[in-house]
Structure 1
Amino acid sequence: MLVLTRPRLVLLSVPKTGTTALEAALAEDADMVLRNPPHLKHMNLRGWQNRLAPLFEDKDRPFRIVAVVRDPVDRLRSWYRYRHRDDLVGRTNSTRGLSFEDFAAEVMKPDDRAPYARIGTQTDFLTGKDGTIGADLIYRYENIPDLTAMLADALGRDLRLDRLNASPTVETPLSEATEAKLRHHLAPDCALHATARGHADR
């Protein structure tokens, strides 16, 4: 999470949406940078509203909340690859030795999911205290260049993103039937991604 007081922007770090590179590029402009531990770096909207927003409160100059969302199936692929890395082998949250098809099936269980499949939704992450999606500017992962342009304009300087926190390269085939079930299971996230801003002027 980044707090930029001059342009009055808060960048929420939705897990597996490429925000690590944005945070690195914007760190010098930020008045608050939460990198660690993960529960602070990935503080959700309710966390911001309850814990940090009161510290920056200025009713005449409200903050705009910015977030990136990703196609939910692609995001699960990223989680699967991330938890496939060598340093997790032998741990309960490792996906090593597990097919993506089986991983998806575990994610869709209503409860008692294995540790490797306990993944929050983007919709819940961006839901505020009032029960509604509370981010002001939501960009699709595939349109991060538009978000970068908006941020550069707000800060009055050029921004260049480096690729960081890359996951291992692992094949992730998925049957059409399982993908259809997965998209139904993640319908709110699918709708959120579909209606997110594709360009900075929309």
Structure 2
Amino acid sequence: MMAFPRHGFVLLAMPKCASTSLEAALAPYAELVIDRPPGLKHLGASGFGRRIAPRLAADGHERDSYELVTMFRDPVRWLESWWRYRARPESLRHKPGADSSEMSFDEFARRYVDGDPDAPTPRGRPGQFLTIDDVVEVDRVLAVERPEAWQPWFRSRLGEDVAFERRNVSPPADPELADGTRAALVDFFAPEYDVWSRLQETGQWAGARGTRLVVPPRAR
């Protein structure tokens, strides 16, 4: 998480959404950077509201004085990124037992949808990251896959010609999904695809705050 209240925004670091690259490029301009531990670095809207917003308010930056921003990506690609990441040998040093190297993406996806507690799948989902009580709390959502939209936005806000590089890239893979598994994922990720659909025209969704995004009860 990085805060730029003098530039009018705070960036929440959704996991698997270019957070490492963004931190490398933007941290020098930030007034507050929380890069560890992961539970704080990747605070979602709810955690931000409880832990960071009061701190900013105490410094004279009330919530409505800045935009709360996050990146977003196709939810199936988001899950695929987790599968690839947890197949990397170095990731096992930080989370023993979270090994997907011998698991197909199809199995990984099915166990994620089923909520298997023993699977090396991520906990939670992108929709939860954005919401408090099923209502979107972030003001602006930017599509990771559309750098032509978000790079100029950050540069404009900072007034600097910021250079962005790709970092922390997982190994290449060409995963396959059975038709039934893909259909189950699309159904499971219905709230996320609602968000995703709003990004297709311009690569960003401004004015997102206050939109109801109903996340199914089986979300973890």
Cα separation, 2, equivalents of 1:65 and 1:15: 16
Do the aligned partners of 2:142 and 2:205 also contact (CA within 8 Å) in 1? no
**How does 1:1-150 map onto structure 2 within 5 Å?**
1-57=1-57, 58-59=61-62, 62-87=65-90, 88=92, 91-109=96-114, 111-128=115-132, 131-150=134-153
Cα separation, 2, equivalents of 1:91 and 1:61: 41
Cα separation, 2, equivalents of 1:201 and 1:71: 14
Q: TM-score, normalised by structure 1?
A: 0.91
* 1:117 aligned counterpart, secondary structure: coil
Partner of 2:176: 173
State the aligned residue count.
200
Cα separation, 1, equivalents of 2:50 and 2:136: 15
Give 5+ residue unaligned stretches, structure 1.
none
Residues 165-195 of structure 1 show CA distances to partners (whole Å, capped at 9, x for unaligned) of 1112233111222111111011111111111
Cα separation, 2, equivalents of 1:63 and 1:75: 27
Q: Runs of 4+ in structure 1 displaced over 3 angstroms?
A: 58-61, 199-202
* 2:136 aligned counterpart, secondary structure: coil
* Identity over aligned pairs, percent: 31
RMSD between superposed Cα atoms in Å: 2.1
Partner of 2:195: 192
Residues 108-129 of structure 1 show CA distances to partners (whole Å, capped at 9, x for unaligned) of 11x443241233211101113x
Do the aligned partners of 2:14 and 2:42 also contact (CA within 8 Å) in 1? yes
Cα separation, 2, equivalents of 1:101 and 1:60: 41
The residue type paired with residue 91 of structure 1 is: P
Q: TM-score, normalised by structure 2?
A: 0.84
Give 5+ residue unaligned stretches, structure 2.
207-220
